[in-house]
Amino acid sequence: MMEYGSIVLFARISAYTTEISELVAKISANTAGISALVSKISVTTTDISTRGQDISNHRWDISTGEQDIGKPPRISVLMDKISANTTGISALVSKISGYTMSIHFVL
């Protein structure tokens, strides 16, 4: 009777490790997708920021008629903040991906 209980326990453990392995594979696939999305956002924000800087270099103060190069446009500042956040998200996704690979190898 004891052997039967051990076989059932082993079968349950095997089923759970299979489920965990499938979950880890899904997480891995999603982190790769998130990482690609973050890369696209980062490229886009860099492009918008660069264009914003170009606009900043060609602004004119309407009241004086002189060129106003003092501050970068708000869009440029916003894009810099988004770019910094995408870098943080990318690092977080890399950590999650590393953890899922570790779990996958353990199983």
Give pLDDT, residue 51: 66
Which residues in 19-58 are b (16+ Cβ under 10 Å) and which e?
eeeeebeebbeebeebbeebeebbeebeebbeebeeebee
Q: How confident is the model at residue 28 (pLDDT cuts 50, 70, 90)?
A: confident
State which residues form the domain around 12. 2-106
**Are 41 and 87 within 8 A, CB to CB?**
no
Q: How confident is the model at residue 8, as a pLDDT?
A: 77
Please check the confidence at residue 91 and state whether its pLDDT lies above 70: yes
Give me the number of domains the chain comprises.
Answer: 1
CB-hemisphere CA count at 13 Å for 36? 5
User: Residue 93: what pLDDT?
Assistant: 76
Q: Report whether pLDDT(29) > 70.
A: yes
The rounded distance, in Å, linking the Cα atoms of 13 and 52 is: 57
If one compares 68 and 5, the residue with the highest pLDDT of the two is 5
